[in-house]
């Protein structure tokens, strides 16, 4: 079992902006979803965990070793797929993996070749190994990103908004690939898509404005909302009126009617009960902490 313990972590950027505010998390093997809207601080947190930036205070401990005291310990065991890979050099997929493998310290030539070929096969890019990565489609680039993250058999894999820009089929394929590799390692997935967390993650946290607002097992978080979510169809002109009386956690236009959903301990007049979903957990949490 691997463990990542984040303890009272804060990060203030040089311009004075505090992107991470006193975050504590305990993460073990399996897929952990970090869910939050754009600007929540997800990438800031990921980059801090992988050691690309130093926290202002607090600690990150991986398998018993404090990352700030021994940064190489986590680096040796880490795979990172950043949100923004930047530009790809004009070399083939194989050569780029070879270069990254050397940077990761895989010095034995035949072992390196073995790993690269296995990974290219795993991410379904073997046929494209001599093609330059910048010519790849979005989905192929993301799969290449997974291959480079998996070099060196990492025990902790961090993927930042990996499905942004993928079409639905590519997204499914990418998600099932993540699911396959998460059995014996920690995978931290950051996303603004509730659906990806619902389908993949056994543990999750909701982040906004630098804070962790909720954390836990998705099904348990959903169960807490049982008999507390209500909906009603209204005319869209009535929305303003309802917004002043109820905290609307979601709204959906269906033909000409607007379905509004609200959180309440008691059944509001003329509302019907709704089976809670992870979407409700997410939007309830965000509207509760504006």
Nearer to ligand ADP, 89 or 165 (CB): 165
165: contact with ligand ADP by CB under 6 A: no
Of 24-32, 40-48, 115-123, 262-270: span binding ligand ADP (CB under 6 A): 40-48
Q: Residues in contact with Mg ion, total (CB under 5 A)?
A: 3
3-state secondary structure of 131: coil
End-to-end CA distance of the chain: 37
As given in the structure block, the two tokens for residue 216 are 């836990």
CB of 221 to Mg ion, least distance (A): 22
83: contact with Mg ion by CB under 5 A: yes
**Residue 30: which region, alpha, beta or left (left: phi > 0; alpha: psi -120 to 50)?**
left
CB of 161 to Mg ion, least distance (A): 5
**Residue 236: which region, alpha, beta or left (left: phi > 0; alpha: psi -120 to 50)?**
alpha
Of 4-12, 75-83, 215-223, 233-241: span binding Mg ion (CB under 5 A): 75-83
In the DSSP assignment, the letter for residue 135 is G
Alpha carbon of 166 to those of 119, 120, 124, 180: distances in Å?
20, 19, 16, 19
CB of 12 to ligand ADP, least distance (A): 9
How many whole angstroms separate alpha carbon 175 and alpha carbon 112? 26
Among residues 25, 35, 43, 120, the one that binds ligand ADP under rule CB under 6 A: 43
- Give the start-end residues of each E strand in 127-256: 156-160, 186-191, 203-208, 211-216, 229-235, 248-254
Among residues 4, 25, 40, 189, the one that binds ligand ADP under rule CB under 6 A: 40
Taking CB under 6 A as the rule, which mask of x and - marks residues 10-29 in contact with ligand ADP?
---x-x-x-x----------
Nearer to ligand ADP, 11 or 27 (CB): 11
Contacting positions for Mg ion (CB under 5 A) = 42-43, 83
Contacting positions for ligand ADP (CB under 6 A) = 13, 15, 17, 19, 36, 38-44
């Amino acid at each position: 079992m691997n463990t990542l313990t984040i303890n009272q972590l804060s990060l203030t950027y040089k311009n004075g902006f505090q992107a991470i505010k006193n975050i504590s998390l305990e993460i073990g093997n399996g897929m952990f979803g970090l869910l939050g809207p754009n600007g929540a601080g997800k990438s800031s947190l990921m980059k801090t965990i992988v050691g690309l930036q130093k926290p202002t205070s607090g600690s990150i401990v991986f398998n018993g070793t404090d990352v700030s005291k021994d940064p190489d310990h986590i680096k040796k065991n880490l795979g990172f797929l950043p949100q923004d890979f930047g530009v790809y050099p004009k070399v083939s997929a194989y050569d780029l993996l070879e270069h990254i493998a050397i940077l990761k310290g895989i010095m034995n030539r035949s072992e390196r070749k073995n790993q690269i070929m296995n990974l290219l096969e795993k991410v379904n890019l073997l046929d494209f190994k001599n093609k330059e990565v910048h010519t790849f489609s979005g989905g192929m680039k993301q799969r290449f990103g997974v291959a480079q993250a998996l070099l060196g058999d990492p025990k902790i894999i961090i993927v930042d908004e990996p499905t942004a820009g993928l079409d639905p089929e590519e997204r499914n394929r990418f998600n099932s690939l993540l699911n396959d590799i998460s059995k014996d390692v920690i995978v931290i997935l950051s996303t603004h898509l509730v659906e990806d967390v619902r389908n993949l993650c056994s543990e999750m946290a909701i982040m906004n404005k630098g804070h962790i607002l909720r954390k836990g097992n998705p099904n348990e978080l959903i169960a807490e909302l049982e008999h507390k979510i209500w909906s009603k169809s209204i005319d869209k002109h009535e929305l303003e009126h309802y917004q002043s009386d109820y905290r609307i956690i979601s709204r959906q236009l269906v033909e000409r009617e607007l379905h509004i959903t609200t959180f309440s301990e008691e059944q509001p007049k003329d509302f019907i009960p709704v089976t809670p979903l992870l979407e409700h957990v997410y939007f309830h949490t965000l509207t509760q902490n504006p």
